[in-house]
Amino acid sequence: DAGITQSPRHKVTETGTPVTLRCHQTENHRYMYWYRQDPGHGLRLIHYSYGVKDTDKGEVSDGYSVSRSKTEDFLLTLESATSSQTSVYFCAISEWHRDGYTFGSGTRLTVV
Amino acid sequence: AQKVTQAQTEISVVEKEDVTLDCVYETRDTTYYLFWYKQPPSGELVFLIRRNSFDEQNEISGRYSWNFQKSTSSFNFTITASQVVDSAVYFCALNTGTASKLTFGTGTRLQVTL
């Protein structure tokens, strides 16, 4: 059983529309993260959470917002999708921020 | 600020060759943690190892070994007798004692052919 799941796995959306990606965990881990992966850039942190309703920005947070109303769910919202947000998005969890992360399977988002 | 540099973008080797993936990091913190992750063609990210800044002992796990040298700020990863299944993108990452997040390098794509 996967301790972390992302939905949807694939999405195509139009420029200017809002999009929400969901990350769900069953491990009761405190920390949750959203990264994006782009060629030549590796993985870059968008936002992270260190508890329910406790979130902070990463290095590429512009155009994104997050919410965590329950321990198990961490939502990433693209307020008005742009083509530059076409990417693969990974969610990750960890019990302690210095631990190795467990990553979800990723969401491939295409903005046309 | 923290930074991870993986200067090798792509490496191609023939099966059974040994290969070393380089990782150089930058941080001003004295307490930090270094990681390696593997991303096979299927796309998932797999945790391989964590090493803290107080432990410079090299680690060996089967065909994998890691060489941590604080003097050169490097945490290199060697695969001995490479196999086709080792073909993947490998990421090095850094977490400092004061940060709550991993900083990743840009990754090294390893291609192992028969």
DSSP-assigned letters across all residues of chain B:
--EEE----EEEEETT--EEE--EEE-S-SSEEEEEEEE-TT---EEEEEEETT----EEETTEEEEEEGGGTEEEEEESS--GGG-EEEEEEEEETT-SS-EE---EEEEEE-
Beta bridge partners of B68: B75
The predicted-structure confidence for B45-62, as pLDDT tens digits, reads as follows: 999 999 989 888 888 889
Question: What is the distance in angstroms between the Cα of B22 and the nearest Cα belonging to chain A?
Answer: 15
- Is the Cβ–Cβ distance between A34 and A47 less than 8 Å? yes
pLDDT tens-digit profile, chain A (112 residues): 569 999 999 999 999 999 999 999 999 999 999 999 998 889 999 999 999 999 999 999 999 999 999 999 999 999 999 999 999 999 999 988 778 899 999 999 999 9
Asked if A88's CB is within 8 angstroms of B100's CB, the reply is: no
**Low-confidence residues of chain B: pLDDT under 70:** 97-99
| Closest C-alpha among A73, A80, A77 to residue A111 | A80
DSSP string, A46-87: EEEEEETTEEEE-TT-TTEEEEEEETTEEEEEESS--GGG-E
Q: What is the pLDDT of residue A67?
A: 97
> What residues of chain B lie within 8 A of the CB of A31, using their CB?
100
Q: What is the pLDDT of residue B25?
A: 97
Asked if B43's CB is within 8 angstroms of A88's CB, the reply is: yes
| Closest C-alpha among B95, B69, B94 to residue B4 | B94
Q: What is the pLDDT of residue B34?
A: 94
Spatial CB neighbours of B18, under 8 Å, sequence gap ≥ 6: B78, B79, B80, B81, B82
- Is the Cβ–Cβ distance between A45 and A60 less than 8 Å? yes
Distance (Å, whole) CA B79 – CA B36 = 13
Question: What is the distance in angstroms between the Cα of B99 and the nearest Cα belonging to chain A?
Answer: 8
The two three-digit tokens of residue B92, written as one number = 């090095």
Residue A44 touches partner B, C-beta closer than 8 Å: yes
Spatial CB neighbours of B69, under 8 Å, sequence gap ≥ 6: B56, B75, B76
